[in-house]
């Protein structure tokens, strides 16, 4: 199914189709910069957490949405980034160096995981990554002299050029710092997708056999995608550690990996914007539930599992009625108005045909 209509192949390497989306994103960026002057510290903390989730979602999106590989163990790479960042800072490295190094170590861990699993597909790849996630929790406890074990680690304050970015002392500064890191990752992500490497990722996602016929090295490309994905996720884990201040082996458990997958599926697989939409749902849904309960059911007890139940219901609804996610639905609505009154329902019918070679795998 095609939604974005092109008049030239140059559109494939542009950041935006035309000036209108660029102006919208510029307005969104300016509004995000001004956000600390508009809302209170509680909601600013929620938006900061949303940006961290969005970075983690972009990491998983690169692997699942653009490379076609499954992963249910990305919380382990968040843990690698969080612990690496804190340990490096304990050895005297400043945050401006420890953060990219934490992403590097998480990417290196991704390479070590990807090398023996490049031949796995689908459910088998998901099972392997689940095993990695469970193993990571045990390794954190075993390596207690470095990780603190069940007692956890305390993330020191972020200090850059003498400016302290503390969640409780300078929440606005922490928000602006994470917003800047998010923008850099988005620009890097877009450039990867515009490059030959990014096109190789999407070729493998659509058909490995066709990609191999075009000369793409499947094993090497899948390993690179896993490494880049884990590096981005590791950076989000390092930021999550600073946001949480204290984290243990239970902070990055298998539930976090499942939430990450739910996030990108609900937001829209294959779209960077889908990572932000999913991150907003994961961040603000618990707060909405809490405020709704206090407003309408002030004397009611907390219903256990209500958040997980709502996440599951939203996921089922999206899979049944909009497999492209919420951002995919927005693209269809936008295309309807662009084509009106010449819109036809058949133009956006889901494609259900596959290569015969793909069906036999």
What residue spans define the domains of the chain? Answer: 35-359
Q: Distance (Å, rounded) from C-alpha 261 to C-alpha 258?
A: 5
Q: Distance (Å, rounded) from C-alpha 247 to C-alpha 291?
A: 26
Q: What is the pLDDT of residue 100?
A: 94
Local structure of 158: helix, strand or coil: strand
For 223-249, the DSSP string reads HHHHHHHHHHHHHHHHHHHHHHSEE-T
Q: Where are the beta strands (DSSP E) in the chain?
A: 153-154, 158-160, 163-165, 246-247
Residue 56 per-residue DSSP state:
H
Residues 241 and 191 sit within 8 Å (Cβ to Cβ)? no
Closest by CA to 45, choosing from 173, 154, 220, is 173
Q: What is the pLDDT of residue 357?
A: 46
Using CB atoms within 10 A of its CB, is residue 163 exposed (0-12), middle (13-18) or buried (19+)? Answer: exposed
Residues of the chain with pLDDT under 50: 1-3, 352-361
Closest by CA to 243, choosing from 55, 57, 37, is 55
φ/ψ (deg, to 5) at 248: -125, -170
Q: Give the alpha-carbon dihedral of 350, 352, 355, 361, to 10 degrees.
A: 120
Q: Give the alpha-carbon dihedral of 238, 127, 124, 112, to 10 degrees.
A: 40
CATH numeric code, 35-359 = 1.10.3470
Radius of gyration (C-alpha) of the chain in whole angstroms:
21
Tens of pLDDT, residue by residue over 40-81, are: 888 898 999 999 999 999 999 999 988 888 888 889 999 999
Q: Distance (Å, rounded) from C-alpha 75 to C-alpha 86?
A: 17
Strands 246-247 and 153-154: antiparallel
127-133-139 Cα angle (round to 5): 135
Local structure of 160: helix, strand or coil: strand
Q: Distance (Å, rounded) from C-alpha 84 to C-alpha 5?
A: 44
Q: Distance (Å, rounded) from C-alpha 84 to C-alpha 87?
A: 5
Tens of pLDDT, residue by residue over 297-310, are: 655 555 666 777 77
Q: What is the pLDDT of residue 20?
A: 67
Which tokens in the block code for residue 308? Answer: 């997980």
Residues 335 and 348 sit within 8 Å (Cβ to Cβ)? yes
Which tokens in the block code for residue 297? Answer: 């059911």
- Number of other CB atoms surrounding residue 327 within 10 Å: 21
**List of residues 6+ apart from 188 with CB closer than 8 A:** none
Closest by CA to 140, choosing from 289, 251, 55, 262, is 251
Which tokens in the block code for residue 89? Answer: 């800072």
**DSSP run (H or E) holding 79:** helix 74-90
Q: Distance (Å, rounded) from C-alpha 219 to C-alpha 114?
A: 9
Q: What is the pLDDT of residue 349?
A: 58
Q: What is the pLDDT of residue 343?
A: 63
């Amino acid at each position: 199914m095609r939604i974005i209509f092109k008049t030239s192949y140059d559109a494939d390497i542009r950041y935006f189709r035309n000036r209108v989306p660029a102006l919208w994103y510029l307005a969104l960026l300016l509004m995000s910069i001004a956000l600390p002057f508009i809302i209170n510290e509680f909601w600013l903390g929620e938006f900061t957490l949303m940006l961290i989730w969005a970075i983690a979602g972009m990491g998983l999106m690169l692997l699942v949405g653009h490379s076609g590989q499954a992963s249910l163990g990305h919380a382990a790479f968040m843990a690698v980034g969080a612990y690496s960042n804190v340990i490096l800072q304990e050895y005297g490295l400043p945050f401006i160096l420890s953060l990219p190094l934490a992403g590097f170590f998480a990417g290196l861990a991704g390479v070590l995981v990807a090398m023996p699993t490049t031949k796995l597909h689908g459910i088998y790849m998901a099972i392997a990554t689940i095993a990695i996630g469970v193993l990571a929790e045990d390794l954190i406890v075993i390596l207690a002299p470095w990780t603190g074990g069940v007692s956890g680690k305390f993330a020191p304050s972020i200090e850059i050029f003498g400016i302290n970015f503390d969640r409780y002392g300078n929440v606005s500064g922490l928000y602006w710092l994470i917003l800047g890191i998010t923008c850099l990752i988005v620009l890097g992500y877009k450039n990867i997708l515009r490059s030959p490497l990014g096109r190789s990722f999407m070729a493998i996602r659509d058909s490995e056999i066709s990609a191999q016929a075009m000369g793409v090295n499947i094993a090497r490309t899948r390993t690179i995608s896993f490494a880049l994905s884990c590096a981005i996720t590791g950076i989000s884990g390092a930021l999550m550690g600073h946001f949480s201040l204290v984290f243990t082996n239970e902070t990055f458990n298998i539930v976090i990996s499942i939430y990450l997958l739910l996030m990108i599926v609900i937001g829209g697989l294959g779209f960077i914007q889908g990572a932000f939409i999913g991150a907003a749902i994961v961040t603000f849904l618990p707060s909405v539930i809490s405020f709704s309960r206090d407003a309408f059911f002030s004397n009611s007890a907390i219903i256990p599992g209500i958040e997980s139940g709502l996440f599951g219901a939203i996921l089922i609804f999206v899979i049944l009625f909009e497999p492209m996610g919420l951002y995919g639905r927005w693209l269809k609505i936008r295309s309807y108005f662009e084509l009106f009154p010449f819109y036809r329902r058949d133009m956006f019918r889901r494609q259900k045909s596959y290569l015969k070679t793909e069906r036999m795998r």
